[in-house]
Chains A and B, each alone.
Chain A
Amino acid sequence: MTQDAPRNDRPRAVNGHAPDVFKREGQVPMREYPKNAPVDFVIVGAGCGGSVLAAKLAEAGMSVVLFDAGPFFQPRRDFASDEREQEKLYWLDPRISDGDDPIELGANNSGRAVGGSSVHFQMVSLRFRPEWFKARSKLGYGRDWPVDWREMWRYYDEVEEALKISGPIRYPWGPDRGRYPYREHEVNEAGLVLARGAEALGVDWAPTPLCTVSAPSGKSPPCAYRGMCKIGCSINAKQSMLITYVPRAIKAGAEVRDLAMVGRIETGADGRATGVSYYRDGKWRFQKAENVVAAGYSIETPRLLLNSSTAQHPQGLGNADGLVGRNLMVHANDAVWGEFDEEIRWYKGPPSMATCEHWNYADDDPSKNFDGGYSFMSQGPLPGDFAGTLTSSTGMFGDDLLEAMGRYNRMAGLKMVGESMPQVDNRVTLADETDELGLPRAKVTHSFCDNDRRLQGHGRKFMSRMMRAAGGKNLFETQSTAHLMGGCPMGDDPETSVTDDMGRVWNVDNLWICDGSLMPTGGGVNPAMTILANAARIADRIIDARFD
């Protein structure tokens, strides 16, 4: 970084301007709203849920202020091809993690930047299986969503078009999904390992639909296949919220406040939300609002609601039944790694270029001994990441680690995204400990159930078979988790859910949630597309309700 590069610890969206994300330097004009006059919507969190909502509401003519605790990056200047430097993208503020299977928090599950986790997500863009929206009534496990899959299908179309998802022409699983806006990318060698294995075992595989463009789009160049995706794409091929919906929101008149940590949602004597208290540029401030939306993802959204307690809401907002923070889910991220005779160079290109969703759809297979499903993808971890995996899962160290890393270019791997069951005891609560701003830290309690373990065991076994069939040797397995879902599930019944079907918190009619925490079940696919589609749907519902 050059010496005069602007600092990451000072807000950049100020004085009527926001950073121009497509340039190394430069700004775009941005509208600003006074703090003491209520804006139509304050949205807390500029990630997948918050950005889509902000753009659509602003485009419908509403006044919107979008807060994010993280910085407003300019990828072309701020992103380095360096794993350590790029840790600045993750939410690394300490959280307390316990339970039988405590989750490792940070790089694997949440981001902290304008654009949210989409800035460093790995761009796998899959849809839910339709039946999962009615998992309880159709498949007999988990919970039902208060939404029909056909409605979600339309919104998947909408967000896939907006993000120019590059996907295969024929997707082997599920109902027809029309044509992806951009064509599939060339599958890299690591992906061809999955392909060879799948063909040997007689199951389908597909080039992964990815959220990075395979041809120029607007100001984005096509993907250059350098594989830095997980630490932020410095050339803007990746269609993160930071370069898509956030600029759209600003253009339509929304204001973004970066490096603005919202500590509390304030409520009035009538119990309704009046605005938010936030910390920015060294001071606590207050923004008035007609409506407040929490979009901080599955840990921070519950934390914010719980921390906003008042005499009228003694247990926190929306938490009269004690449901806020419960039914938190992760994806099992177990993996099988192996060595190959030939060079693979798996760091080339986006990390997961081939996918297999066989076990999301194979209900009748006699070997299926679990509820739910899993998909898995080819892998391409960066060296630091992979060395970390080796150390933490095999205890390898020193010369052994050095020697193992010498085989880095001949390694390949398969990693699952395995559904886990919603359980009330997997939850976010407030710890006694506080952070630098004096806000109670989040405590995350997590344990897998027997079904989760059976699913993971099945996945590891199947992926091992596939690796062997593709020619992999000296296989070894690792276990971890990825993604967060749930925590404030939506539903039809106030007794069992935190919000209604449009994300409105039961009993606080101007408080909303719009992020991954709404998900009643997690499904066996990466969640971003579902969160985005749901946010686009909620936006339309709000707009319709307002203008009716």
Chain B
Amino acid sequence: MTHDRIYDTFRRRTRRPVGGIGLGAIVAGVGLGFVAAGLAARRPRSANPVKRSRNKREALRLGRDGAAIMGASVLFDSALEHLRGDFRRDEMYVAPLTGATAMAAALAEPRRRKRGRVLEVTHLSSVGIGIAGMGFHLRNISRRPGGISWNNLFYAAPLGAPGALIMSGLFGMVTHRMAQAEGYEHLHGRELACLTALALVAESGEVALLHFRGAFHDKAMYLPVTLPPLAAAGLMAQAIYPHRHFRRPLTLLLRAVEGLGYVGTGFHALGVARNSAGWRNWRQTTLAGPPMPAPISFAGLGKTGRAALDLLAVGEDQPRQNKERAAI
């Protein structure tokens, strides 16, 4: 087992492995700091010089919130999981920190006039670090006996988890771009629909693996592997062939996926309670039981999905608006 410097320092100071409340508090503190920073960085809405359609505003808001939720999910989920892994390697701190910056950057959107280079760089670095994280996780798995075996896929570093960071960065980037440009709503809508569909499929894949590990012992565990892929199919259809048909039921489905994020968190809390000694023993059971911060990412994807549909609607209304403007 390899340890790195921070781990060793902690261990020397406290005479026990990194863990417990102390470190959790540090990470949560960092996270909250970034939330505050993000909120502060937001520009008041009244400063928007150009009038925007309600749909576009709604889409920007949904895209921003979706990206922020994904970032928050990465922040808390990786903090929890890496705490479980005792932060044995220093690189393990990078994930929650990037989750926090991704969330803060997303919240700082939408920027209009200014390029916002810092934000662009932050979004892109989330993507890069997510990819690097996948590499780390793959290396962790392939070094263990059994290689790509079920035991390692179930219990070693999860291959799919850093994907949420990639998604958070990409959603941030799309929101950023759509805030900057006018007239490309239809294109952006299609992009966002496609991206959300892919993210939903990937996320459901990860859930399928972990719920399979839990032997689908509760029937509700089938929900996140059925609703999101359906929504993904709908979104993909819209990306390829945008059409007003079915948008209303698809919106409802996306709201259901979003709801699943909140309800799932509740289910996971009940799952924690079903571990030995339940919440009374939370310092152990929140680490051993189903991860509380994981389901919320579906709420983020439900939102970005709706953002895509709103953008498509804006795009489809545009020629009409332009014509009207020309007539005046």
Interface residues of A (CB under 8 A from B): 164, 168-170, 181-184, 186-187, 192, 195-196, 198-199, 205, 207, 214-217, 221-222, 224, 235, 237, 342-343
Contact = CB atoms under 8 A, between A and B. Distances in A.
Nearest to A179: B215
A240 to B, nearest CB: 16
A196 B145 contact: yes
B115 interface: no
The B interface is mostly helix, strand or loop, or mixed, namely loop
Contacts of B47: none
B1 A183 contact: no
Contacts of A195: 145-146
Contacts of A214: 213-215
Given A192-B145, A217-B217, A224-B284, A183 B274 contact: no
Contact of B151 (A184, A199, A221, A342): A184
Interface string B107-151: 000000000000000000000000000000000000011100011
A186 B276 contact: no
Given A224-B275, A224-B284, A215 B1 contact: no
Nearest to B217: A215
B1 A207 contact: no
Contacts, number: 61
B215 A182 contact: yes
Nearest to A195: B145
Nearest to A193: B145
A207 B145 CA distance: 11
Given A196-B145, A222-B275, A184 B215 contact: no
B272 to A, nearest CB: 10
B213 A221 contact: no
Contacts of A215: 213-215, 217
B144 A192 contact: yes
Nearest to A221: B276
The A interface is mostly helix, strand or loop, or mixed, namely loop
B161 to A, nearest CB: 16
29 contacts: A168-B150, A168-B151, A169-B150, A181-B215, A182-B217, A183-B154, A183-B212, A183-B215, A184-B150, A184-B154, A186-B154, A187-B146, A195-B145, A195-B146, A199-B145, A215-B213, A215-B214, A215-B215, A215-B217, A216-B271, A221-B274, A221-B275, A222-B275, A222-B276, A224-B275, A224-B284, A224-B288, A237-B276, A342-B1
Contacts of B1: 342-343
Nearest to A224: B276
Contacts of A235: 276-277
Q: List the 7 shortest-distance A-B pairs measured between CB atoms, nearest first.
A: A195-B145, A186-B155, A215-B214, A216-B274, A235-B276, A221-B276, A182-B215
A224 B287 CA distance: 11
A391 to B, nearest CB: 30
A372 B145 CA distance: 29
Contacts of B213: 183, 214-215
A215 B274 CA distance: 9
Nearest to A236: B276
Contacts of A207: 151
Nearest to B290: A215
A183 B276 CA distance: 19
Given A183-B212, A199-B145, 14 more contacts: A168-B151, A181-B215, A182-B217, A183-B215, A184-B154, A187-B155, A195-B145, A198-B145, A214-B214, A214-B215, A216-B218, A217-B217, A222-B274, A224-B288
- Chain A CB count within 10 A is highest, among B154, B213, B218, B276, for B276
A237 B276 CA distance: 9
Interface string B257-271: 000000000000001
Nearest to A200: B145
Nearest to A217: B217
Nearest to B156: A186
Interface string B150-163: 11001100000000
A216 B277 CA distance: 13
B151 to A, nearest CB: 5
Contacts of B288: 222, 224
Contacts of A181: 215
A342 to B, nearest CB: 6
A343 B1 CA distance: 8
A467 B284 CA distance: 33
Contacts of B277: 235
Contacts of B154: 183-184, 186
Nearest to A235: B276
B137 to A, nearest CB: 16
A350 to B, nearest CB: 14
Contacts of A164: 215
Contacts of A182: 215, 217
A187 to B, nearest CB: 6
A216 B150 contact: no
Contacts of B150: 168-170, 183-184
Contacts of B275: 216, 221-222, 224
B214 A183 contact: yes
Interface string B207-225: 0000011110110000000
Contacts of B215: 164, 181-183, 214-215
A130 to B, nearest CB: 24
Contacts of A221: 274-276
A221 B275 CA distance: 5
B157 to A, nearest CB: 12
A164 B215 CA distance: 10
Given A196-B145, A214-B213, A187 B151 contact: yes
A216 B155 CA distance: 17
Contacts of B271: 216
Contacts of B212: 183
A332 to B, nearest CB: 27
A200 to B, nearest CB: 10
Contacts of A205: 145
A195 B146 CA distance: 7
Contacts of B145: 192, 195-196, 198-199, 205
Nearest to B216: A215
A544 to B, nearest CB: 32
Interface string B269-299: 0010011110000001000100000000000
A224 B272 CA distance: 12
A236 B288 CA distance: 16
Nearest to B270: A216
A170 B150 CA distance: 9
A4 to B, nearest CB: 22
A107 B44 CA distance: 74
A224 B283 CA distance: 13
Interface in B146-185: 146, 150-151, 154-155
B284 to A, nearest CB: 7
Contacts of A184: 150-151, 154
Nearest to B274: A216
A427 B212 CA distance: 47
Given A222-B275, A235-B276, A343-B1, A186 B214 contact: no
- Chain A CB count within 10 A is highest, among B146, B151, B288, for B151
B269 to A, nearest CB: 14
A28 B317 CA distance: 68
